[in-house]
Amino acid sequence: MAEILPIRAWRYHDRLLGKMEELTAPLFDVVSSKQRELLYENPFNSIHLSVPNGPNPAEKARKTLRKWKQEQLIVQDEEPGIYVYYQYFRLPGEHDARCRKGFIAHIKAYDWDEKVILRHENTIVHAVNDRIDLLKSTEIQASPTHGLYEDPENQLEGFMDEAMENPIYELEDYQGVKEVLAVIRNPQIIAKFLTVLKDKQVILADGHHRLEGAIQYRKSKQTTASKSKWNGFDYHMMYLTNTNGNHLKILPTHRIFKGLELSNHEFIQALKEWFEVKKFHDQEELGGYSFTKKWSYGLILKEESYLLQLKPEKFDEIESNFPEIIKKLDLAVLHSLVFDKILGIPLEEQRFSENINYERNFSRCIHEVQSGKASFAVITRELELSQVLEVCRSGYVMPQKSTYFYPKALGGLLFASINQQEFEFDYGAFFK
């Protein structure tokens, strides 16, 4: 069901090959403000196209892109290719490295109703509008979204492994992940990739706002007359990984709350109506605590920390319009009870609330609370991949920021243009 195409990628000129670690950038929603400022100091870093700063950022990105092309800071491939992308990483406490294998290609920006690409999270309107503005202005994508497909037979892995024998880039990213990129240009092999994916649904792991932006951009252009069989505005750059036998790791995203109007004592008493509340000996230890039971959380206040466990008999008392598949998720319980029931922020308003923030870094959660910038932090446990797949197939969505697939794809390894002149190619050779 999913139509993919190889990419006539724009990439940094070969003269910059040794500087790729300085030119690539983390995704905009995972980089800290301090990291971001450091990246902006380099005038050639890809962040200037992915997350331009200052007034009128979309126009600034357009001018930057035009300059980079004119000065051949980036150059375009003569022929399209499938870009094989491997990420080698370790998790805390592990000795052996994991390897997540995948490839980067164009995929049609299917509307959600077409049920070819399945989402699991809601999007935030202003963030989507920013992505649309950027896409309209530049017609280029600087970082891929991340999609999952299911192929138990691993039909493509042999071709990817072979391509990796001659990588284009090998570098270490901002988190110590080894990033390796290679390319396949053989039309017969590329055709196999297209054939395998054409019968698959794709589950969106990361990049809901960027893909939503691409969908809306595609809709805005569909009334435009085109003589081409393949239109650039129809497509979107995606990193695709197989759910079978791959190192797909989902890390938790914690919640930070600012502006608590209750006293800490009143807050704890309100929690006790729904949760078993136990004092925890050391805040610093919560980061390594195994939350093995469902509906369990850590709570960090300025002076104290606690373990929260939903009282099982209370589950059926939770008022929710969600279907059972969503209602039973840890984060759905958290948002329904703590933020809606106790703190009075309706579920439909939580996505826009300035009181609720999302943080993957446990130490930063503690710092925000201890510094007084936040009232409390809730430490959550990770989702299982099976839960994400189940929700996606159901057609429903999870609370925002439910998943954090690790490691994130890196921006700036390549750029995918949807400008028709630069996109134009006889892709028919790959459909066999």
Q: Which residues contact 71 (CB under 8 A, 6 or more apart)?
A: none
**Residue 396 maps to a domain:** no
Of residues 39 and 327, which shows the higher confidence score? Answer: 39
Tokens 């005038």 correspond to: 43
Say yes or no to pLDDT of 349 above 70. yes
Based on the domain organization, do 75 and 222 belong to the same domain?
yes
Instruction: Count how many Cα atoms sit within 13 Å of the Cα of residue 179 in the half-sphere of its side chain.
Output: 22
Based on the domain organization, do 231 and 303 belong to the same domain?
no
Structure-block tokens of residue 419: 């400008």
Predicted local confidence at residue 225, as pLDDT: 62
Say yes or no to pLDDT of 182 above 90. yes
Pairing mode, if any, of strands 202-206 and 117-118?
parallel
pLDDT digits (tens, 9 = 90+) for 129-170: 888 999 999 999 999 999 999 999 999 999 999 999 999 999
**Residue 289 maps to a domain:** yes
**Residue 400 maps to a domain:** no
Phi, psi of 419 (to 5 degrees): -65, 125
Structure-block tokens of residue 46: 């890809």
Say yes or no to pLDDT of 33 above 80. no
Predicted local confidence at residue 241, as pLDDT: 95
CATH classification at residue 170: 3.90.1530.10
Amino acid at 63: K
CATH classification at residue 279: 3.30.1760
Based on the domain organization, do 244 and 264 belong to the same domain?
no
Say yes or no to pLDDT of 27 above 90. no
* 3-state per-residue secondary structure call for 10-67: EEECHHHHHHHHHHCECCCCCCCHHHHHHHHCCCCCCHHHHCCCCCCHHHHHHHHHHH
**Residue 53 maps to a domain:** yes
User: Strands, E, within 177-247: which ranges?
Assistant: 178-184, 202-206, 235-242
Based on the domain organization, do 266 and 244 belong to the same domain?
no
Q: Strand, coil or helix: what is 309?
A: strand
Say yes or no to pLDDT of 125 above 70. no
Pairing mode, if any, of strands 254-257 and 178-184?
unpaired
Of 296, 268, 267, 299, the C-alpha closest to 283 is 299
Instruction: Count how many Cα atoms sit within 13 Å of the Cα of residue 294 in the half-sphere of its side chain.
Output: 11
Confidence of residue 123 (pLDDT cuts 50, 70, 90): low
Based on the domain organization, do 140 and 263 belong to the same domain?
no
**Residue 389 maps to a domain:** no
What average pLDDT does the structure give for the chain?
90
Based on the domain organization, do 235 and 257 belong to the same domain?
no
**Residue 192 maps to a domain:** yes
Of residues 401 and 291, which shows the higher confidence score? Answer: 291
Distances (CA, A) of 13 to 19, 75, 286, 413: 10, 6, 46, 11
Based on the domain organization, do 25 and 168 belong to the same domain?
yes
Based on the domain organization, do 350 and 411 belong to the same domain?
no
**Residue 374 maps to a domain:** yes
Say yes or no to pLDDT of 210 above 80. yes
What are 171's strand-pairing partners? 179
In the predicted model, what is the mean pLDDT of residues 228-254? Answer: 88
Confidence of residue 126 (pLDDT cuts 50, 70, 90): low
* Domain of residue 372, residue span: 253-381
Taking the C-alpha atoms of residue 319 and residue 33, their distance in angstroms, rounded to an integer, is 38
In the predicted model, what is the mean pLDDT of residues 279-300? Answer: 89
Q: What is the DSSP letter of 45?
A: S
What are 296's strand-pairing partners? 309
**Residue 179 maps to a domain:** yes
Q: Alpha-carbon Rg of the chain, whole angstroms?
A: 23
Taking the C-alpha atoms of residue 24 and residue 300, their distance in angstroms, rounded to an integer, is 35
Based on the domain organization, do 43 and 147 belong to the same domain?
yes
Taking the C-alpha atoms of residue 186 and residue 198, their distance in angstroms, rounded to an integer, is 19
In the predicted model, what is the mean pLDDT of residues 265-272? Answer: 95
Based on the domain organization, do 42 and 161 belong to the same domain?
yes
